[in-house]
Each structure stands twice: as C-alpha cells, then as structure tokens.
Structure 1
C-alpha cells in the first residue's frame, strides 16, 4: 500500500466520523433553547460555538440564519426585542447581537425587580410576617429587631 492509498483510506475512515459529528452538532444547535434563568451571554456564546464548529466541518451557516437561530432560541422574556429586531430589519453579526442582548438582559432584570402591584390588600404585610416567622423559627433573626408596623 503506497502513501496515496493510505491517505485515501484514512479519509474514508474519518469522513464518516466527521459526518456524524457534524450531524450531532447541528442537532444540538437546532435544539438549543435558552432556559428561563440562563444568562443570555452564555447561551449565545454556546450557539456561536456550535456554528463555528459546523464551519470547521465544511457546513457553514450564513449570518442571517445564525441570527435567526439565535433569536428563535431566546426565551419569552425577549419576545418584544425579537419583534422589534425583525420589524426594524437590523443587520448585525452574532457577536454584535450578543452585545445588544446583554444590554437588553439588564433592562429585563431591572424591570423584573421593579415594585409590583399587590395582588390584594395586605399581601405584602402577610408575606413579611411569614418571613419574620420563618426567620424566628430558624433562630436567624429575632422578631423584635424587625419593624412591626408592616409596609
């Protein structure tokens, strides 16, 4: 067996493995969804990694499709951003989109920590009293040092 035959034999051997690896990566990319509490930065970086890995195997994905896959995989908190992004036909690459999404993530987090309307009269007072009772049971804090007047 000469060197050419050996190289061809190795190509055939590893081509099938590379095809399977490419298939598994594409499957992971397609199934990738951001969890409710996942950070957007880690999620988008994982997806960018999948697309770069596919490009190494000779199956590159266009920038438009990469963006579409990333936007499709975001959780419902980003639905307004996705709609705005698509309506304004913003043209960004995945890393620029990542930077924008990190900014959007901070605004979403700030909005979720904003004071919410009470569900009913006395709701927050009851919650505070429940919290005080739990702390007293665990001997973490004495009730006497907490404000008894409520909210």
Structure 2
C-alpha cells in the first residue's frame, strides 16, 4: 500500500474497514479486469501448430486471475473453455474425452493434451 493510502486509512478501526473502503475506491477496476480476462478466456483460440502446453497454461493463468478477483469459474466450465479453444485437429481427443466421461483438473487436462 502506498504511503498516501496508509495515511488516509490510518485511523480506521480494523482491516475489514480498510478493505471495504478500498473496494469502494477501486472496485470498478476489478470489474473491468474481470470482464477483460473472461473475454480473453471465451475468445481464446489456439493456432494450429501452436504449443498446446503454452496455450493451456495461458488459459489456466487467466482462470487463476479470475479466482483472485473473486470470480472463480467452476472446474467443468474451465475444462469446457479449454477444450473449445483448441483447433479442429483435436476433435478426436475432445470426442474421446467426453465419451469416456473423464474427470480432471485443468492441469491434468494440459498433461493429457501434451501427451496426445
């Protein structure tokens, strides 16, 4: 926290009051950040021939940022978003994934995709 913000909040009774005040001041930025991150996730498309590991890591990092902004995505939605962002060449993998009702985390999915 900058010295100016510390000075402004110095007389507040507890940390909760400080957090509430900061949310009032800067909450709109969080909303904008959530929008931009979710837009990146839902519009993501891996380029054909690109590194699937790098692509999925980027998507996982965006999902982690949403979680930090108190807007977590359900794990099933995370998996769906990652699979939908893959090029058509992964169609067989995606069909097999859903036909076999595979349950996994995004990190485990990344390892499966790298292996495939």
Shorter-chain TM range is 0.7 to 0.9
Query: Given the alignment of the two structures, is residue 75 of structure 1 paired with residue 84 of structure 2, yes or no?
Result: no
Partner residue of 2:47?
A: 35
**How many pairs were matched up?**
103
Query: Given the alignment of the two structures, is residue 97 of structure 1 paired with residue 109 of structure 2, yes or no?
Result: yes
Partner residue of 1:22?
A: 34
Report matched runs for 1:1-151 at 5 Å: 3=12, 7=18, 8-104=20-116
- Between structure 1 and structure 2, the one with the greater Rg is 1
How far has the Cα of 1:12 moved from its partner?
1.1
Q: In the aligned structure 2, how far is the partner of 1:3 from the partner of 1:20?
A: 27
How far has the Cα of 1:51 moved from its partner?
0.6
Q: In the aligned structure 2, how far is the partner of 1:70 from the partner of 1:11?
A: 31
Q: In the aligned structure 1, how far is the partner of 2:81 from the partner of 2:22?
A: 34
> Structure 1 runs of 4+ off > 3 angstroms?
6-9
What SS is found at the alignment partner of 1:81? helix
Higher relative contact order (CA 8 A, sep 6+): 2
How far has the Cα of 1:9 moved from its partner?
4.1
Q: In the aligned structure 2, how far is the partner of 1:11 from the partner of 1:48?
A: 25
Unaligned runs of at least 5 residues, structure 1: 105-151
